[in-house]
Structure formats: C-alpha cells, structure tokens
Amino acid sequence: MSDSERAVGALGRAVGLEKAARARSGWYARYLWIFAAGQLVLVPVSLLWHGPASAVFFALANTLLVTGLSVYAARQRVVRRGFGLKHGLLIGSWATVFGLAVVLGTTVFTDDVAFAAAAALGCALPPALGAWSESRGTA
C-alpha cells in the first residue's frame, strides 16, 4: 500500500470519527426544543391566568421543566465544543425576552391575548433557534 493510500485511509477514518462524534452528541438540540415548547405554555399562563391556582401551576410546571432538563443534561456522556458559551448566550437571550414579556405583560398589555401569544413565541425563539443550529451541526 502506498503512502498516499495510507494517508487517504487515515483521513477517511478521522473524518468519519469526527462526524460520528457530532452525530452522537445531539442531545442539546432535544433539550432546547423541549425548553422552547415549554415557553409556549408557561408564558401565556404567567401573563393571562391570575390567582393562586395559576401560581401553583406555574411553579410546578416550571420546576418540572427545569428539573427534568437539568437531570437530562447532567446524564449526558458528551458535551459539544463551545457548549458553555452557546448555552450562556441562549439562556441570557431567553431571560431578557422573558423579563421584558413579564414587565410589559403586567403593566402595558395586561390580559392582552395577542401580546401573550407574541410573548410566548418571542420566548420560544432563542431556544428554538439554538435547537435548529444544533441540529444542523449534528447532520
């Protein structure tokens, strides 16, 4: 076997391994899709449903979502490169939009269904974009 053929073989193996590692590290996309879906429920609940029952439901649902996702993340065997920065940026973006939605939804747009729907989509957007970008990196 010539040096050139050996080099091609080694290159093929290395590229194949890199692809396989990416393909098996796609858990963060699932994490973000679930987080985005949770926003579509939790944000309207927090803006439109008032009273003690709403508070209890919001607290339970939010605790379930955050705990479930945290346990899911902690059990993973692999962390993709740049995860910390990406996660920080995504959660920071989500927190900014969520904070803005709560402030505006309780002061300017009180009980406004259209605003609550837009706010839910706005809060779901950062994790959904992150999930889409992660899915592309896995392919």
- Residues contributing to the site for other proteins (CB under 8 A): 1, 3-4, 6-11, 13-18, 20-22, 24-25, 74-75, 77-84
Smaller CB separation from other proteins, 70 or 106 = 70
Residue 88 CB, shortest distance to other proteins, in Å, is 13
Q: What are the φ/ψ torsions at residue 90 (nearest 5 degrees)? A: -65, -45
Give the Cα separation of 67 and 33 in Å (integer): 16
Smaller CB separation from other proteins, 73 or 129 = 73
The answer for 112, left when phi > 0, alpha when psi is -120 to 50, beta otherwise, is: beta
Smaller CB separation from other proteins, 46 or 134 = 134
Q: Which amino acid is at 131?
A: A
Residue 3 CB, shortest distance to other proteins, in Å, is 6
Smaller CB separation from other proteins, 19 or 50 = 19
Give the Cα separation of 36 and 129 in Å (integer): 9
Give the CA-trace dihedral at 3, 4, 7, 11, to 10 degrees. Answer: -170
